[in-house]
Structures are given as C-alpha cells and as structure tokens.
Amino acid sequence: MLVKSKSDCTHYILFTKEPIAKLFGGVSVAIFWLAKGGVRSKLQTVCENEHEARREIARKTPQIVLQLALKTFLAKISLMTDKLQSTDGIVLHVLPFRDYDKILTLYTRDLGVIKVIIRKSLMSKISRGSIDPLTRAEFVLSAGKNDLFRCEDISLQNQNLKLREHLPRLQAACDMAYAITSSQMLHKPSSELYNLFISFLERLPLISDPEILLSSFYIKLLRHEGLLLITDFCSICRAPLSNSYLAKGERFCKEHAPNYALSFSKTEAEMIQILNFSRSFRELSAMELTRAFAMKIKDFFTMTLRDSSIFLDR
Ligand SMILES: [Zn+2]
C-alpha cells in the first residue's frame, strides 16, 4: 500500500490485515495518544498554576504596596537620622559671626577637630550659661556647607569653671587647647588623645604647678603623633649620652646635633621620659619643674611640629 499522508498512515495501521504491522501500529498509536494526553495535562497544570500564582499575587498586591511604602518611609527616616550626629566635644575657639551667630572650633571624640556654626536661636536656649572656650558639651550636628557643621542642639556637660579661677591654670588649659588646634588635622578623630585632653583638663585644678601637666601633655602629644623617639643614645652615631641635644623629636650628641637643637642635661632627659610615660597623676604631681625647663619643653614641642611640617598655624 502506498502511504501518501498522515491519515493514510493511520488508516493503514488500523485497517491493515498484516498482524505484526497491525500490532505495532496499534501500540504506536496508543503511545502517541498517551504521550499527547500527558503533555496536554502538564500544560493544563502549568497554566492552572500560573493562573493561581497570578491570583495569589493579585490578592497580595495591597500588602506588597503597603510593605514597599513602609520600607520607603523607614529608609527616609533613617536617612534623616543619619544626617544628625551626636558627639562629645570641647570648645577650642569661638568666633563671632554676623550679629549673633558664632563659629566654634571643637575637638570632638568622634570627628576630631571640626568647625560648627551655632545660631542665635539655639544660643538663647542654653539657660545655664554661654558657650566659651574649654566648655565641654554633647553636640548634635548636621552636615552644613563644605566642612562647616551646623549645631542643632547642645547639652552642656562641664564648663570647666574651676580652670578660670586661677590664671596659670587657665593659661595651661588654653595652651593645651592650642596644642590640639595646631597639631590635629580637621576630621581626624583619636579617642586616645581626646581622653588624654579631657583627663588633663579635669586634673589641672588639682595640681599645684599646672606647667607639669602642660609639659607632659606636650610630650605625650608628640609621641601620639609619632614624632618622639627619645633613647639613651645619639640617633646618628649611637654613642651613649649624658648631656644631649634634642631636635626633630630625637636626641643627638653635640657633634651630630642640628645647630638649632635644644640642650638638655641628663636629669632633664630623664624627666622628659617621666613626663612621657607616666600614667600616675601622683607621680606627675611630685615632680618639680623649673620655669626654664618648662619653656624648653614648649619650644621643643613647637619646633618638632614645625620640623615635621604638620604645624597648623590656625
Ligand atoms: Zn652622635
């Protein structure tokens, strides 16, 4: 039989009188229809699942919209919150601005040295006094133009009024504040240095000679900045030293000292090490510093900062 089409093929399989061909053909047709039915069933299931999924999504649409709106709202709140930053800080300098506003230079625990503008309206809310240098407070800040922050709120913590009762004490505190101003870059926080500054300001009223704490602060600050390397040997020839010369934060023998180096006796060099490493207020209180030695420490501090090119003449 000549098969010319699909219907001819089906007709041949079903109605042929050849038994083997008929059996083979019947099985093939059955498999074909079963397979076809399975595919149809699967397709139907997929379609039903898809419709069900769409119905499910449609049912949940109001919830999804609400969830998205809530997430957006929370994100905006978070953004607004992130713009406000609270930090503990000490006022280093106050500059009157316009008629009643002020620009403060602060040394803060979390942001280092920063400049902050404080409006007259906020100043009038501070009932317990004004914002003067050496005042410690909790500042709530928002980002302003360039590097200038805006002060949104202030909680006074300590106005350090005892520092203002004694001129040498006040002078030492102001010199510490100036040492911070002239050595710290903007926005370079150091909790270690901040804690040292706070601790020394609090202890200034408790010591008879404020210049001991000031000298120790200068030396510790140089070490904190990595500008101090005092050993018992000349930094160049390694010769053991008794009398020595200090410059660039190091000790030299007479032969290798720069011509501007400051001369220190062996006893004075040992006192510098106590000022440097002492962690005991009692030990510092027991020291006796001459005025000339204290002045040399101050000169050494300023000279070392200038040599290192980090002296900030603000
Ligand atoms: Zn030498």
pTM: 0.72
Question: 269 in a domain, yes or no?
Answer: yes
Question: Where residue 182 falls among pLDDT bands split at 50, 70, 90?
Answer: very high
CA of 276 to the centre of ligand 1 (A): 23
What distance in Å separates the CA atoms of residue 242 and residue 265, rounded to the nearest whole number? 7
Tell me the β-bridge partners of 90. 107, 136
CA of 235 to the centre of ligand 1 (A): 7
Question: Where residue 128 falls among pLDDT bands split at 50, 70, 90?
Answer: low
Instruction: For residue 210, give the nearest of 183, 177, 175 by alpha carbon.
Output: 175
* Residue-range definition of the domain harbouring residue 38: 6-80
Question: Where residue 183 falls among pLDDT bands split at 50, 70, 90?
Answer: very high
Looking at residue 1, what is its pLDDT? 44
CA of 234 to the centre of ligand 1 (A): 5
Examine the domain organization and report whether 313 and 169 are in the same domain. Answer: yes
Stretch 234-243: mean pLDDT: 93
Average the pLDDT over each of 129-143, 175-189, 277-291 and give the range with the smallest value. 129-143
CATH number at residue 217: 1.20.1440.120
3-state secondary structure at position 109: coil
Examine the domain organization and report whether 172 and 57 are in the same domain. Answer: no
Question: Where residue 81 falls among pLDDT bands split at 50, 70, 90?
Answer: low
Element (H, E) at 61: helix 19-83
What distance in Å separates the CA atoms of residue 125 and residue 254, rounded to the nearest whole number? 60
CA of 309 to the centre of ligand 1 (A): 24
Question: Where residue 84 falls among pLDDT bands split at 50, 70, 90?
Answer: confident
CA of 258 to the centre of ligand 1 (A): 11
Any idea what the Cα angle at residue 135 is, between residues 142 and 195, rounded to 5°?
85
CA of 253 to the centre of ligand 1 (A): 4
CA of 242 to the centre of ligand 1 (A): 12
Q: With both helix axes pointing from N to C terminus, report the angle between 266-277 and 210-224 in degrees, rounded to the nearest 10.
A: 80
Examine the domain organization and report whether 187 and 62 are in the same domain. Answer: no
Looking at residue 2, what is its pLDDT? 46
CA of 295 to the centre of ligand 1 (A): 25
Examine the domain organization and report whether 179 and 34 are in the same domain. Answer: no
Instruction: For residue 215, give the nearest of 164, 278, 161 by alpha carbon.
Output: 278
DSSP secondary structure code for residue 261 in this structure: P
Look at the chain and count its residues. 314
Tokens of 214: 């000031």
CA of 156 to the centre of ligand 1 (A): 52
